[in-house]
Amino acid sequence: MKNMKVLIVDDAKFICELVTKIVSEAFPASTVKAAFNGEEARVLLTSEAFDIILCDWEMPKMSGLEVLKWTRAQPQYKTVPFVMVTSRGEREYVLKAIHAGVNDYLGKPFTKEQLVQKMNKVLGTAQAPDAAKQAKAAKMMEQDKEKVESISKNVPKPKGMAHLRVHDQVFKCAIKDMSLKDVLVVVKNEGKFPQVLDQAVIDIEQLSGDSVARVNGFIQMVQAAEAHINSAFINIRVTLVDDDPDKMAHLSKYIASVR
């Protein structure tokens, strides 16, 4: 497409610079502009007309999903190609994007070839979002919701809430059981979870005036909470390695309070 106008939306400046370089080299006649959050994107989209939008999901002020929904509500952008370029590749996010009218999805990190391929795929096929795909995504989202609610009814009341930190990832979890030797937690299956033997830190949220701020350990077990490849929850057992007497005394008090 000659004289193509491309809008890149990402709160990471280096991503905007990288995508601008790739697009300018692959489509020399194009004009590329960048917005560093969803609100800036909306202002640009209102003041100018763009032929394709490459948008991140997680941004301040206005998320990529909100930008997508807003563009599809504007008559001039109902058929403009919209590609979500993001690290959020979990099923839940993909279904939400399809339901909102996204044309395609590109996961981070990506190569130059992958980005150009996605752009070529959606360019020149300007059309309204596929209503059948949107309806299917909505149905799958409802089924997932019902499944989670059904499982939740059969899950015993948690003994507390915690954050499990492994490498650079943080998992919000419910504590199913705990002792001075290990902690069994359950996390929502979002496609990413720790590996056995990974070092881990658990920050346990207080239920009373006393709190256990931090417990060190390693991942002993990772198990689907139900016998299904799409299990909505994952059980994780963390073996504790702390030998600090004061921390153990504090942990004992906490365990006694939730038994």
Residue 64 exposed, middle or buried by CB count within 10 Å (0-12, 13-18, 19+): buried
Residues 14 and 121 in one domain: yes
213: CATH: 2.40.10.220
Flag whether 63 is in a domain. yes
Question: What is the β-pairing status of strands 169-178 and 182-188?
Answer: antiparallel
Task: Give the domain range for residue 60.
Answer: 5-145
What's the Rg (C-alpha) of the chain?
Answer: 23
Residues 127 and 9 in one domain: yes
The answer to whether the CB of 185 falls within 8 A of the CB of 202 is yes
Distance CA 148, CA 257 (A): 28
Per-10-residue mean pLDDT of the chain, 259 residues long, equals 87 92 92 94 95 92 92 92 86 86 89 93 74 80 71 62 87 88 89 89 67 80 86 91 79 75
Flag whether 152 is in a domain. no
pLDDT of residue 209: 47
Distance CA 57, CA 84 (A): 7
With both helix axes pointing from N to C terminus, report the angle between 64-72 and 38-47 in degrees, rounded to the nearest 10. Answer: 20
Distance CA 103, CA 157 (A): 41
pLDDT of residue 149: 65
Flag whether 226 is in a domain. yes
pLDDT of residue 139: 82
User: Residue 85: which region, alpha, beta or left (left: phi > 0; alpha: psi -120 to 50)?
Assistant: beta
Distance CA 123, CA 121 (A): 6
Flag whether 188 is in a domain. yes
* CB proximity list for 222: less than 8 A, separation 6 or greater: 193, 194, 195, 196, 234, 235, 236
53: CATH: 3.40.50.2300
Residues 140 and 186 in one domain: no
Residues 141 and 16 in one domain: yes
Structural domain count of the chain: 2
Flag whether 140 is in a domain. yes
Distance CA 173, CA 214 (A): 14
Flag whether 73 is in a domain. yes
Nearest to 26 by CA among 137, 114, 124: 114
Angle at 192 between CA 224 and CA 254, to 5 degrees: 70
